[in-house]
Amino acid sequence: PERTLVLIKPDGVTRHLTGEVLRRIEAKGYTIVALEQRTVGTELLTEHYAEHQGKPFFAPLLEFMMSGPVVAAIAEGHGVIEGFRSLAGTTNPTSAAPGTIRGDLGRDWGTTVQQNLVHGSDSPESAEREIALWFPQG
């Protein structure tokens, strides 16, 4: 079955929303097949966010992602890549639809980078690349 990489970003972990995010994934019917909390460094994040290198929010994004622990998970189930992105809502938490993780639990804190609680892979290719990066042991 399909798998996706889910990250609960430092704002989510610090605000004690780890359980709430995992609850929504499980309530939707997906299975958490790997789960680990860790602090990450520049090297991993530069690879993870390679597509954003050179953008104005790149440095603030890495700083934010290193500001506290991150929870990395692999979620599994048919359609989980699109399904989790639908659960997460759109990138900007101010306009993300109510009912979504970002819409219900996120807001704009006035920071340069959008603190939007979670990350989810955006395609099968991204999912494969990101899972290999975050869970190299498989």
Binding-site annotation, residues:
9, 57, 85, 91, 102, 116
Nearer to ligand ATP by Cβ, of 36 and 108: the residue is: 108
Alpha-helical segments (H) within 50-89:
58-65, 80-88
First to last CA, the chain: 15
With binding defined as CB under 6 A, does residue 89 bind ligand ATP?
Answer: no
Mark 5-44 with x for binding to ligand ATP (rule: CB under 6 A) and - for no binding. Answer: ----------------------------------------
| 3-class secondary structure, 121 | coil
Mark 38-77 with x for binding to ligand ATP (rule: CB under 6 A) and - for no binding. Answer: -------------------x---x----------------
Query: E strands along the chain, which residues?
Result: 3-8, 31-38, 70-76, 118-120
CA dist 68 and 25 (Å) reads 22
8 Å CB contact between 120 and 89: no
Whether residue 119 lies in the annotated active site: yes
Binding footprint of ligand ATP on the chain (CB under 6 A): 57, 61, 91, 113-114, 116, 119-120, 122
Name the residues annotated as catalytic.
119
